[in-house]
Chain A
Amino acid sequence: MPYLLILPAGLWLIVFFVVPAVQLFATSLYDPSGSLATGYAMTGDLGNYPRALGDYWPQLLRSLGYAAVATLACLALGFPLAYAIALKAGRWRNMLLVAVIAPFFTSFLIRTLAWKTILSDTGVLVGLLRHAHLLGADGRLLATPFAVVAGLTYNFLPFMVLPLYASLERFDRRLLEAAGDLYAGPVAGFRRVTLPLAAPGIVAGTLLTFIPAAGDYVNAQLLGTPRTAMIGNVIDSAFLVRLDYPSAAALSFVLMFAILVLTVGYLRRVGAGALDAVS
């Protein structure tokens, strides 16, 4: 019976994920000297991996770094927001939740393009910052790492807020009264009670933010420069511009592997304990 329930989604994943993934893996082993015109020979050559990594390791590290910073920024912005919505908003709760999801009503691309206007050299924000001498006379925001990370943070914030909200919503504030009664001040109460009980939401939120952010190329494309290119941009151009399929496929797998290793390491360190903390 459970198999019957898994079947539709399972078939979908097999057809549209497993088969293409296997195909992609096969592509990563093609002879790199081939081309669309001459065709690719399947040589089983693992050399594509060290070659791709050797050429593009800076972009890979940059991707992971940007994604990590954006994830932390999402957590810093998202935790207080989710806390307020879950525990303080009262009858405004549903409206605020809708507001968190509202950006999804507009396309990802349009929203990111809008950030281009916000951060542009002639925009209000840059003008204000220059006026306040927080930015030099020729200082800029667009086409900087800040712009890319800000775009990632903006675009993935809801993926942080929603799981955090889900775990904080079940939080019993009487536990904080109990902590206060047992000599825990506000800081200790937060650290010893609120934070551990929100851990499942933090783990889910950070993964849902970090994983897509590490593979993103739209923000770097629209808000950055070649010097802020992420691994997604490299894969994008290898597939669509340079038509270097074996390298593109190899880089895709390198990225997947890197994320997998980081995720497993992360879950081992904080996640597993945190996730069963409340069970």
Chain B
Amino acid sequence: MADLRLTGLTKRFGALTAVDDLHLEVHSGSFFALLGASGCGKTTTLRMVAGLTEPTGGQIRIGDDDITRLRPYRRPVNTVFQSYALFPHLSVHENVAFGLRRRRQRDIDRQVADMLALVQLDGFGPRRPAGLSGGQQQRVALARALINHPRVLLLDEPLGALDLNLRRRMQIELKRIQTEVGVTFVHVTHDQEEAMTMADTVAVMNAGRIEQLGPPAQLYDLPGTPFVATFLGQSNLLAAHSEPGGENGELPVSAYGGRFTVPRDRCRAATATVYLGVRPEKLHLAGSPDAVPPGHQHVAGVVTDIAYVGVSTQYLVRTGWGTELSVFAPSTGAEERPELGAPVVAYWHSRHAFLLDRPDGAGDRTAPADLSVDVRA
């Protein structure tokens, strides 16, 4: 059942269209992430659901109720603000009790105590927000919103102000709390790792529209657009052309004179002008073409950069055409370690490649002098 449904939602600020005819369904009880770079319209979307920004057009429904024009204080949603926006003149207890008091609820003290226990802030009730750490303030903001049992909880970059370690801990914590209370979470973030670790469904937003929507693993494994392929993790994208024919469900592709194949069910392109995409960790290095295992495809090149980052080593391989491919080799302890300048071949299995539409022949400059490939790594 869809709990939150946006239909044709649009917001224009003067000549700028921040949110462009957005259609979206968020299922009841799910953890939904709106992921995008700053300025993509994700926060505007969230604010329209909260009632803090008025839509130019479209409709917002929660369950069967149209809330598009409701004042914020009449909506069954609550928000965890990016800045937390805790009331500095009220204690933690009164901050959390604020919504209950406005609705003249009973048994406030017990509810607040339970909620503070849920966010692991037992005993912090009498403190003032200014005396808390960033992570603790974040928990108060969460408790203050959740205590009202919203139909939908909106989280606007909730972990943005925390340092990396704390952010990781809070990601796990938020997920635990969401599972425990079963409330629908709609989470806005620019951090793809945050979106992927927590959300059941991720919608990647770009220029006011949703580029792709799905479970994180699916988006990562088979991105639908070049934007998603490069925003959600990294991708090597080779400008290519798909060729007619092919057998065994494999689609032939040519790029810079080389011939490759991609499974038909991994082709998201509608035209023959395509990007051939492979994730850097799906690329492997070998000393020569003879060492490439059967069933794999390869290109030859030279190692131009090596960066050791602990869990893996990141290589840049310059191909014969002048393109640089990014290769992540996990530090398993058994791997070969090519040296800088060494000739190598980078190989991948066709089931790890994907084909995307290449808009307007981008990267399609095939003059012999400049065989550059549009590689976004």
Contacts and interface: CB of A to CB of B under 8 A. Distances in A.
Nearest to A174: B85
B120 to A, nearest CB: 22
Given A182-B98, A183-B148, A175 B103 contact: no
B79 A178 contact: yes
Given A184-B73, A185-B71, A178 B81 contact: yes
A179 B98 contact: yes
B87 A184 contact: no
A196 B77 CA distance: 26
Interface in B84-129: 85-89, 98-99, 102-103
Contacts of B51: 180-181
A180 B78 CA distance: 10
A76 interface: no
Contacts of B72: 177, 180-181
Nearest to A189: B73
Contacts of A199: 89
Contacts of B87: 175, 178-179, 192-193
A81 B261 CA distance: 72
Contacts of A179: 87, 98
A174 B79 CA distance: 12
Which of the four size classes fits the interface of chain B? 20 to 34
Contact of B52 (A180, A278, A279): A180
A182 B144 contact: yes
Contacts, number: 65
A180 B88 contact: no
Nearest to A181: B79
A278 B102 contact: no
Q: Majority SS of interface residues in chain A?
A: helix
Nearest to B84: A178
Contacts of A182: 73, 78, 98-99, 102, 144-145, 148
Interface in B40-97: 50-52, 71-73, 77-79, 81, 83, 85-89
Contacts of B81: 174, 177-178, 181
A129 B192 CA distance: 69
Contacts of B52: 177, 180-181
Contacts of B86: 178
Given A182-B144, A183-B102, A184-B98, A177 B88 contact: no
B89 A277 contact: yes
A181 B89 contact: no
A188 interface: yes
Nearest to B97: A182
Interface of B: 50-52, 71-73, 77-79, 81, 83, 85-89, 98-99, 102-103, 130, 144-145, 148
9 contacts: A172-B85, A178-B79, A179-B98, A180-B72, A181-B77, A184-B73, A185-B71, A192-B98, A278-B89
Closest 5 CB pairs of A and B: A178-B85, A182-B99, A183-B102, A277-B89, A180-B72
Given A181-B145, A183-B99, 19 more contacts: A172-B85, A174-B81, A177-B52, A178-B79, A180-B51, A181-B51, A181-B73, A181-B77, A181-B79, A182-B98, A182-B99, A182-B144, A182-B145, A182-B148, A183-B73, A188-B102, A197-B88, A199-B89, A277-B88
